[in-house]
Amino acid sequence: MTKQLPKTDTSAVNVADYIVERLAAEGIDHCFGVAGDYVFPICDAVDSSAKVKWIGCANELNASYAADGYARIRGAAMLATTYGVGELSAINGVMGAKAERSLVFHVVGMPSYQHQRLHKIAHHTLGDGVFGNFVELSAGAACCHAVINPENCVVEMERIIAEARRNHQPAYIAVPSDYALSPVVSADVKPIVPRSNEAALQKAMAIIAERINKAKSIVAFPAFTISRLGLQKEAQKAIEALGCPFVTTLMEKCVIGESHPQFAGMYAGAVSEPKTRQIIEGADLVLDLGGVNLNDITTAAYSGQLDLSRFVTVGLDDVRIGDQVIANVRLEDVLSELAKLKPSSAPYKGKPQGLAPVNGRPSDKITMAALYPRYAAFLRAGDTVVLETGSSSLGVTPTILPDGVRVEAQVLWGSIGWATPAAFGVALADPSRRTILITGEGSHQLTANDVGAMGRFGANVIVFVLNNSGYLIERALEENPDWTYNDLAPWNYAELPKALGCANWYTARVTTLGELDEAMKAARASQTGAYIEIIGGKMDMPPALAFAHGQLKAMYGDTP
Ligand SMILES: Cc1ncc(C[n+]2csc(CCOP(=O)(O)OP(=O)(O)O)c2C)c(N)n1
Ligand SMILES: [Mg+2]
Name 499's Cβ contacts closer than 8 Å, sequence gap at least 6.
Answer: none
Closest by CA to 99, choosing from 347, 409, 342, is 409
User: Which ligand has the minimum distance to the alpha carbon of residue 483?
Assistant: 1
pLDDT of residue 9: 58
Q: Which atom of ligand 1 is nearest to the CA of 390?
A: 19
Residue 155 scores a pLDDT above 60: yes
pLDDT of residue 500: 98
Mean pLDDT of all residues belonging to the chain? 95
CA distance 515 to 283: 47
Residue 439 Cα, ligand 2 centroid: separation in angstroms? 8
CA distance 439 to 49: 35
User: Is the C-beta atom of 56 inside 6 A of ligand 1?
Assistant: no
Closest by CA to 209, choosing from 341, 331, 335, is 341
**Over residues 208-232, mean pLDDT:** 97
pLDDT of residue 550: 78
Q: Which atom of ligand 1 is nearest to the CA of 388?
A: 15
Residue 183 is which amino acid?
P
Residue 330 scores a pLDDT above 80: yes
CA distance 408 to 220: 21
Rg for the chain (alpha carbons), in Å?
24
CA distance 223 to 242: 16
User: Is the C-beta atom of 414 inside 6 A of ligand 1?
Assistant: yes
pLDDT of residue 8: 63
User: Is the C-beta atom of 262 inside 6 A of ligand 1?
Assistant: no
CA distance 559 to 556: 9
Name the pairing type of β-strands 434-440 and 383-387.
parallel
Residue 479 Cα, ligand 1 centroid: separation in angstroms? 17
User: Is the C-beta atom of 442 inside 6 A of ligand 1?
Assistant: yes
For ligand 1, pick from 420, 447, 469, 474 the residue to mutate: most ligand atoms within 8 Å of CB: 474
For ion ligand 2, residues whose CB falls within 5 Å = 440-442, 468, 472
Report residue 406 CA to chain centroid gap. Answer: 12
**Over residues 445-458, mean pLDDT:** 98
User: Is the C-beta atom of 89 inside 6 A of ligand 1?
Assistant: no
**Over residues 524-552, mean pLDDT:** 92
Residue 176 pairs with which residues in a beta bridge? Answer: 110
Q: Helix, strand or coil for residue 138? A: helix
For ligand 1, pick from 473, 487, 539, 540 the residue to mutate: most ligand atoms within 8 Å of CB: 473
User: Is the C-beta atom of 474 inside 6 A of ligand 1?
Assistant: yes
Q: Which atom of ligand 1 is nearest to the CA of 440?
A: 15
Residue 31 Cα, ligand 1 centroid: separation in angstroms? 28
CB 148 within 8 A of CB 174: yes
CA distance 440 to 389: 8
Distances from the Cα of 149 to the Cαs of 14, 181, 484, in angstroms? 11, 10, 52
pLDDT of residue 301: 84
Name 560's Cβ contacts closer than 8 Å, sequence gap at least 6.
Answer: none
Q: Which atom of ligand 1 is nearest to the CA of 441?
A: 16
pLDDT in tens, 181-190: 999 999 999 9
Q: Which atom of ligand 1 is nearest to the CA of 446?
A: 1
pLDDT of residue 1: 47
**Over residues 506-511, mean pLDDT:** 98
CB 446 within 8 A of CB 418: no
pLDDT in tens, 266-311: 999 998 999 999 999 999 999 999 999 999 999 988 889 999 999 9
Residue 472 Cα, ligand 1 centroid: separation in angstroms? 8
pTM for the whole structure:
0.97
pLDDT in tens, 37-55: 999 999 999 999 999 999 9
pLDDT of residue 261: 96
pLDDT in tens, 82-123: 999 999 999 999 999 999 999 999 999 999 999 999 999 999
Residue 221 Cα, ligand 2 centroid: separation in angstroms? 32
DSSP string computed for 178-246? HHHTSBPPP-----------HHHHHHHHHHHHHHHHH-SSEEEEE-THHHHTT-HHHHHHHHHHH---E
**Over residues 121-144, mean pLDDT:** 96
Residue 406 scores a pLDDT above 70: yes
Count of alpha carbons within 13 Å of 253, Cβ hemisphere only? 25
Where does residue 475 rank: exposed (0-12), middle (13-18), buried (19+ CB within 10 A)? Answer: buried
User: Is the C-beta atom of 443 inside 6 A of ligand 1?
Assistant: yes
Please calculate the CA angle 275-277-283 and round it to the nearest 5 degrees: 100
DSSP string computed for 91-125? HHHHHHHHHTT--EEEEEEESPHHHHHTT---TTS
Q: What percent of the chain has pLDDT over 70?
A: 98
CA distance 136 to 88: 11
Q: Where is average pLDDT lowest: 184-193, 325-334, 528-537? A: 184-193
Residue 11 scores a pLDDT above 70: no
Residue 2 scores a pLDDT above 80: no
CB 529 within 8 A of CB 460: yes
pLDDT in tens, 338-372: 999 987 788 999 987 888 899 999 999 999 999 99
User: Is the C-beta atom of 536 inside 6 A of ligand 1?
Assistant: no
